[in-house]
Amino acid sequence: MVNRDKALAQATLAFSLAEHDAIAAVAKMFDRLASSGVRTISTEKAAELIHEMLHEPEIPD
């Protein structure tokens, strides 16, 4: 029982961290697009940019 609860807690934490990273990547993407003057973007291009940003090393602001 304890192992199951611990595993569930760890999985929940991992999911929360992944969700946070994805949201941060989307925000970063929109910041970059806005600063470069882009007004429209395809769903495919947005997904590609998010994927790239999730794999970039983190640079402090």
Domain that holds residue 47: 2-54
At residue 22, does pLDDT exceed 70?
Answer: yes
Mean of the pLDDT values across residues 26-30? 83
Residue 60 in domain = no
What pLDDT is stored for residue 10 in this prediction?
A: 92
- 2 backbone dihedrals φ, ψ, rounded to 5°: -65, -45
pTM for the complete prediction? 0.53
What pLDDT is stored for residue 56 in this prediction?
A: 74
Distance of alpha carbon 31 from alpha carbon 49, whole angstroms: 12
Residue 36 in domain = yes
- 23 backbone dihedrals φ, ψ, rounded to 5°: -65, -40
- 56 backbone dihedrals φ, ψ, rounded to 5°: -80, 145
What pLDDT is stored for residue 49 in this prediction?
A: 79
The total number of structural domains that make up the chain? 1
Span 31-58, pLDDT tens digits = 888 888 888 888 888 888 778 877 777 6
What pLDDT is stored for residue 11 in this prediction?
A: 92
Residue 13 in domain = yes
